[in-house]
Each structure stands twice: as structure tokens, then as C-alpha cells.
Amino acid sequence: METAGPGIIFSILVFLAGFSVLVFVHEWGHYIVARIFGVRIDTFSIGMGKEIYGRTDKNGTRWRLSAIPLGGYVKFYGDASAASNPGDIPEGLSEAEKAECFHFKPLWQRSLIVFAGPAINLIAAALVFAFFFMQYGVRISEPVLNSVEPQSPAAVAGLLAGDLILSVNDEEVERFTDMSNIIRLYPGATIDFEIDRQGQIIVIPVELGIKYFEDRFDNRYPYGYLGVRSAPAQRQELGLFGALSEGTRQTVNMADTMFTTLGQMILGLRSVNELGGPGRIANMLGEAASLGFQNFLFMLALLSLNLGIVNLLPIPVLDGGHLVFYGLEAIKGSPLSKKAQEASFIAGAALMLIFMVLVTLNDLQSMAL
């Protein structure tokens, strides 16, 4: 049964609040590590454009809310702009000023400062997942087929009840949910199952089926279908360290899923129409918030994970692009020429613009359906 959505105004307000929290967490990662290494911070901005509110702290950092509530930045002392481009090395600074300037810090410190933003988004996601595991525990079942549905892809391929799944698509599995998560990524594809059948190790290729998950808001998502069931899962209570370990495991698994999905889109194996922009994200956050705070918190954790991963992509203008430049600097022994870096940043900006146009078109198309 279709449920009415939460409303456009509600979704927009929830999106702005939630996205601002994620941006603050990301930029705080850059900020705190930069402070540890003695870098002076000129500006910490939530939002872009004209300042609508701000204050300057005792360290000289201007904390500000800006008019355009999308994105944010930390501007280090010596930066020509908020982008902290590797080629923007200021001239004419005294030794005391160089000691506080980001661009004169050792390469390993600059790399850690840049990496800290995406890293703290991943850490935040892991902590939220750990919070849920502490509350609800974890349900675990071994990757053993308890039953196989007649005429299902599993039955057609020859999988049998009692088979122990060792790996799927060359990925080792430890739990039944590991197998399920991999299968869902490959609707309609043929993938190999390595199984232990009464002590005999065999590999069986299986052509997966395609099913669609439809949520209560009438959104439909394709996923791979095998047609098997596990034995009843055993629920385990988790303490602090167990929950942290499980939260980290969940984060790593979901990050792997996101990278796999992205790779499939690049290779044309998955439609880019599945990508969503601000409109779709706002709708998802609004839907989650309408179902309760815990649903909203879980969705924020997913978005934090996405934000961290996207920023690690090796695209100039993103943190991952900066890290690529630092890697090349480490190999070469000196930074790339300013001209080469500027050309790379223009190409990266163009690529991101194309991406934003694409996801915006996807948003408009989904709203028109």
C-alpha cells in the first residue's frame, strides 16, 4: 500500500538540517587535524556564498553560516581560496607565518589533514551503526542453504539444501547475510558460487533472477534474486567493543557495496538513473524522518558513508584528487607544475558539473513519474 510522502517543505527542511550536520562533521575533520599540526584556520563555513551570521574565536578563526545551505569549507591560512589547491603556494611569508601555513607543512601532515574529512565521515557512520548494534544486537546465521525454492535460479543451477557457501563471485563469505548482500548487487548476472557439499569443493555458476524492492513510498529498486533460505538466525547481544567491531564491519561492507555499484555504473552494467541528487536525497531524508528519529539517524549514517566515499574519489576538486597530487608529489619529489594542477582542477570541476546535471535530471525524472 502506497503511503503519502512527508511533504516538500518538511523534506527540504530535514535535508538542510541533516546535510548541514554532515558537512560540519566533514569539515571538522579537516579542522581538528589541521589544528593539531599547528595550521592557522581563517574560516570555518557551513554553507557557501555570503555570510549571514558569524563570529571570530580567540584563535582568529571566523565561524560562519553562509547564505547557500549546500556544502561548506575550511579555509587555511595562506589559501588563495576555499579550495586549498595544492598549487596555491603563497609567497613572501616570514618563517613564523610559514609555520602556521598549510602549504608549508610536511607532505604527510597535509595528506592527513585532507584525508581527515572523509575519514571522519566514515568513522561517524561506523559509530552510528555501533549504536544500533548495542541497542538491538546482531542476528547471525552461517552461509548454509537451509532450503532451495523450486524453479528458482538456485534450483535451476543445481544448488542444494545443506550446501555451505564458501565464496560468491570470488568474495569470501562468513555469514548468510554476506552472501545476500553480494547477490543483491548483481540482478540478472551470472556469478560463481564456491560451495562445500559434504566435504567436496565445487564451483557452480548461477544466473540470478531480478526482483524489485518497493518501499512504502512506492520507490522501486532492482536486486539480484537467488531463491534460497537460511537456517534461523541466532541473535547475539553485543557490548561496547563488540558493537564497535560490528559497526566497523558494517561500514566496510557497505563501502565495498558502494564501490562495486559505482564500478558497475562506469562499466555500463548498472543504470546511472539510480544516482540521486539533492532532490532525491531530500525525499529520502524526509521519508526517514517521518518514520522516526532512529530511521532519520540511520539514513544520516548512510549519507555520511556516501559523503566520505565520494570525497575519496580521485577527482581534482575533491579530497581524493588532492591526495592523488600529494602522492605524485611524493613520487616526483616536488609538486606538479601549477599549470598542470590548474588544468586538472578545471577538468575535475567540469566532471563534477556534468555529474550534478545528471543527478538533477534523474531527480526531475523521478518527480515526474
Query: 210: part of which helix (H) or strand (E)?
Result: strand 209-214
Whole-number average pLDDT of the chain = 85
Asked if 133 contacts 243 with a C-beta cutoff of 8 angstroms, the reply is yes
- Which CATH architecture does the domain made up of 138-236 adopt? Roll (2.30)
Distance CA 74, CA 84 (A): 9
225 pLDDT more than 60: yes
Distance (Å) of CA 158 to CA 194, 211, 253: 12, 20, 28
For residues 5 and 216, give the distance between their C-alpha atoms in angstroms, rounded to a whole number: 9
Alpha-helical regions (H) of the chain: 8-36, 95-99, 107-136, 153-157, 176-184, 240-266, 278-290, 293-311, 319-332, 338-368
And the C-alpha cell for 26? Answer: 566533514
pLDDT in tens, 33-91: 999 999 999 999 998 889 999 999 998 999 999 998 888 899 998 776 666 665 566 67
Give the Cα separation of 307 and 75 in Å (integer): 19
362 pLDDT more than 80: no
> 2, 27, 95, 97: which one is catalytic?
27
Please tell me the distance from the alpha carbon of residue 319 to that of residue 117, in angstroms, as a whole number: 8
Active site residue 2: no
Enumerate the domain spans of the chain: 8-136+284-368, 138-236
CB atoms near residue 158 (< 10 Å): 15
| Predicted model pTM | 0.82
- Confidence label for 11 from pLDDT (cuts 50, 70 and 90): confident
